[in-house]
Structure 1
Amino acid sequence: MSTHTTPRPPRAARSAAPRRPSGIAARLGPLPWIGPAVALIVLVVLWPVYEMVRTSFLNISISGFVRGSAGLEQYRRLFDEPDLAGVLTATVVWTVAVVGVTMALSLALAQLFNQRFPGRRLTRWALIAPWAASVLMTAIGFSWMLDRTAGVLNTLMTDLGLIDAPRDWLGSPATAWPWMMCVAVFVSLPFTTYTLLAGLQTIPGEVYEAARVDGTSTWQTYRLVTLPLLRPAFLVGVVINLINVFNSFPIIWAMTRGGPASDTATSTVFMYQLKSSDIGLSAAMSVVNFALVVLMVVAFLKVSRWNADSKEEAR
């Protein structure tokens, strides 16, 4: 009678086999890995939001002492502010105009940088300059350039005979808003252009080959192939620009401080102006701003059918 014995694997092979976590490690799962990120989000995002909402319901003196609960009084006072309607209207126009012009110019620049031409690397590096510089520093530089007495723009235009006398470009809302929008577009172009350029470079060349075989024209290929495949990168650029431009503070504060009065203020700058007179009222404006940002982004994603496309891709 013969017996067959299965040979045991070498000790090295047995020791190299993966071991499943047991005990406390098994119950915690991935928590030790994601715990620091969750703690950072709670500390940096959720806790300030909680404090902001809590402060909006308090009666706080200018010196910072809490005098008790104010209930909804701060919000009633806020919506009774005579400048609020004009500020919200200006905020909408500011956001839509800056984001729209930024996306259009960035799309054109991304298409240009996606082509091969002499000096392409140098021009790509040059585009990073507005992004590398501080937004506040850029805004201050433009405000110096537009200064009424010593500004380069007034000096140049006077010497060329384009204007008879120096103009106060930032003293009137009619001229201050266009210049501030130009600065906002200027500092927003680098990120948006590189986001769209990255999206263009992920489109496989075989798709364009198939389009040429089908006999589609250049415009049809761009409309039916390039733009649909560029849509994810385009949506990322729009959403991030909506948030950044809506919350933009340094450009307006450095160039006009929202004045005269609140004629060149967005809701973010108006919130800061209120802080000098009433901290609780400023906190209420902060809550309104936060709600507007959330509603704006959710509405845009809903209109763009982001969720529906994500589900279709998942299938």
Structure 2
Amino acid sequence: MSQHSPSPTRGAPPARTPRRRGRLGPLPWIAPAVLLILFVVLWPVYEMVRTSFLRISTSGFVRGSAGLDKYRKLFGETDLGHVLLATVLWTVAVVGLTMLLSLGLAQLFDQRFPGRRFARWALIAPWAASVLMTAIGFRWMLDRTAGVLNTAMTNLGLIDGPRDWLGDPSTAWPWMVGVAVFVSLPFTTYTLLAGLQTVPAEVSEAAKVDGASAWQAYRRITLPLLRPAFLVGLVINLINVFNSFPVIWGMTQGGPSSDTATSTVFMYQLKATDIGESASMSVVNFALVVLLVLLFLKVSRWNREES
């Protein structure tokens, strides 16, 4: 009896396809972050833009479309030019002083000296406290009738009588800049300190052996290597200070009138009379922040590797 060979299978099973999870790649892992961005960032931006084209009563009821009327009204505000100029000067002053002082503090804390750990802990205090609480504390310190500063300066004979430090824009602005720098120093200093600690000590020592002075080694070696951390601190400070609200609102509420208001505070002031106009100011603010960051990244050549 002849032996029959096994008949070939007619329908061989197809090659196993990759699992669906594999086809999705990293999407399951980044999906929560994407959803968070959609609902926390993009959705409020959409609502902000939509509200700027509506007529809304102060009680919150929509009265219909306003078209571009709210933008026309905004750009017709007599205080807008002053507020925008004040915002630019405020941002430049606070960010410039913060970066300069933080660079010096980071360099100091990178050295070994007695009490360094305590000094580092002390620097965290303005960061740990609420910014609004800090601003209100300084406001009471500068109060005309019950402020500690007026009492001390009067007793020392430095001033003839109590002064309204926050009621006059010429004295209110320097104090607000000082408080803003005070609360911005911890984060920026620690950012630069982290960058300094990644700079190899051997590189600076080799430069000194080759005859470079300490300043030349710092300027030509340390600062270029510190550039990534410096740019991170600078960009974050630009955004935070430009959008700063608690310091100014806690100390002067933008007054008198809008003399000490930045664009963010001015936006909040407009909310009391016209929500649509306030939303249009928010859109302008958002556009200015995006433009500011893009211009800065282009000027600093963030994405260009140094040769």
Q: Which residue number corresponds to residue 298 of structure 2? A: 302
Q: Which residue number corresponds to residue 104 of structure 1? A: 100
Residue 67 of structure 1, aligned match among 43, 53, 63? 63
Instruction: List aligned pairs for 1:163-242, cutoff 5 A.
Output: 163-242=159-238
Residue 263 of structure 1, aligned match among 244, 252, 259? 259
In the TM superposition, residue 210 of structure 1 has moved relative to its aligned partner by: 1.8
- The Cα offsets for residues 172-207 of structure 1, whole Å up to 9 and x where unpaired, read as 100000000000000000000000000000001121
In the TM superposition, residue 23 of structure 1 has moved relative to its aligned partner by: 3.0
In the alignment, structure 1 residue 153 sits paired with structure 2 residue 149? yes
Q: Which residue number corresponds to residue 12 of structure 1? A: none
| Alpha-carbon distance change, 21 to 222 in structure 1, aligned in 2, over 3 angstroms | farther
- The Cα offsets for residues 97-147 of structure 1, whole Å up to 9 and x where unpaired, read as 000000000000001000000000000000000000000000000000000
Q: How many angstroms apart in 2 are the aligned matches of 1:171 and 1:109?
A: 32
Q: How many angstroms apart in 2 are the aligned matches of 1:140 and 1:67?
A: 37
Q: Which residue number corresponds to residue 277 of structure 2? A: 281
Q: Which residue number corresponds to residue 250 of structure 1? A: 246
Instruction: List aligned pairs for 1:25-174, cutoff 5 A.
Output: 25-174=21-170
Q: How many angstroms apart in 2 are the aligned matches of 1:89 and 1:208?
A: 42
| Alpha-carbon distance change, 288 to 214 in structure 1, aligned in 2, over 3 angstroms | same
In the TM superposition, residue 26 of structure 1 has moved relative to its aligned partner by: 2.4
Q: Taking structure 1 as the reference length, what is the TM-score of the superposition?
A: 0.91
RMSD value over aligned CA atoms?
A: 1.2
Q: How many angstroms apart in 2 are the aligned matches of 1:236 and 1:21?
A: 44
Q: Residue 280 of structure 2 aligns to which amino acid in structure 1?
A: A
Q: How many angstroms apart in 2 are the aligned matches of 1:50 and 1:148?
A: 43
Q: How many angstroms apart in 2 are the aligned matches of 1:210 and 1:144?
A: 53
- The Cα offsets for residues 17-61 of structure 1, whole Å up to 9 and x where unpaired, read as xxx993321222211111111001101000000000011111111
- Counterpart of 1:62 in 2: which secondary structure? coil
Q: Taking structure 2 as the reference length, what is the TM-score of the superposition?
A: 0.93
Q: How many angstroms apart in 1 are the aligned matches of 2:248 and 2:214?
A: 41
- Counterpart of 2:261 in 1: which secondary structure? coil
- The Cα offsets for residues 257-303 of structure 1, whole Å up to 9 and x where unpaired, read as 10000000000000000000000000000000000011111111111
Q: How many angstroms apart in 1 are the aligned matches of 2:240 and 2:74?
A: 24
Q: Residue 36 of structure 1 aligns to which amino acid in structure 2?
A: P
- Counterpart of 2:64 in 1: which secondary structure? strand
Q: Residue 155 of structure 1 aligns to which amino acid in structure 2?
A: T
Aligned residues: 292
* Runs of at least 5 residues in structure 2 that lack an aligned partner in the other structure: 1-15
Q: Residue 81 of structure 2 aligns to which amino acid in structure 1?
A: A
In the alignment, structure 1 residue 23 sits paired with structure 2 residue 19? yes
Q: How many angstroms apart in 2 are the aligned matches of 1:36 and 1:21?
A: 27
